Amino acid sequence: MKRSVTGTWRRPQTPKRMAETIRRLEIEVLGRPHCVGRQRCLVRLGEPVTMAEHHDAYAASKSGTLDALTRQFEQSVRSMLGQMGGGASPAESP
């Protein structure tokens, strides 16, 4: 464990601790926990990207290549979210 800036002990973040933090925030904001009981999570990963293929472009323009790859990743995530459905549409980037 590490000591935080405030002097309290900080434990490493785990999925269980993140879920507990969200539950506490829900109680604080909504007055009760929203997600109760057993939960399921679906995790999908996009197609792999071989970063070596972008080496020459990166060497020529680091920020331009990173911007293009970021847009590609964002579009991939939006597409996967759209395929999942559920009535919510992913937010558009500014």
| Sequence-distant contacts of 43-51: CB under 8 A, at least 24 apart | 44/80, 44/84, 46/73, 46/76, 46/77, 46/80, 47/76, 49/73
Q: What is the pLDDT along the chain (94 residues), one digit of tens a residue?
A: 566 665 556 677 788 888 888 888 888 888 887 766 676 777 777 888 999 999 999 999 999 999 999 999 999 888 888 887 754 444 554 4
Give the domain range for residue 7.
Answer: 2-84
- On whether residue 94 sits in a domain, the answer given is no
Confidence (pLDDT) at 65: 96
- On whether residue 90 sits in a domain, the answer given is no
Q: Is the pTM of this model over 0.75?
A: no
Q: How many structural domains comprise the chain?
A: 1
- On whether residue 24 sits in a domain, the answer given is yes
- On whether residue 55 sits in a domain, the answer given is yes
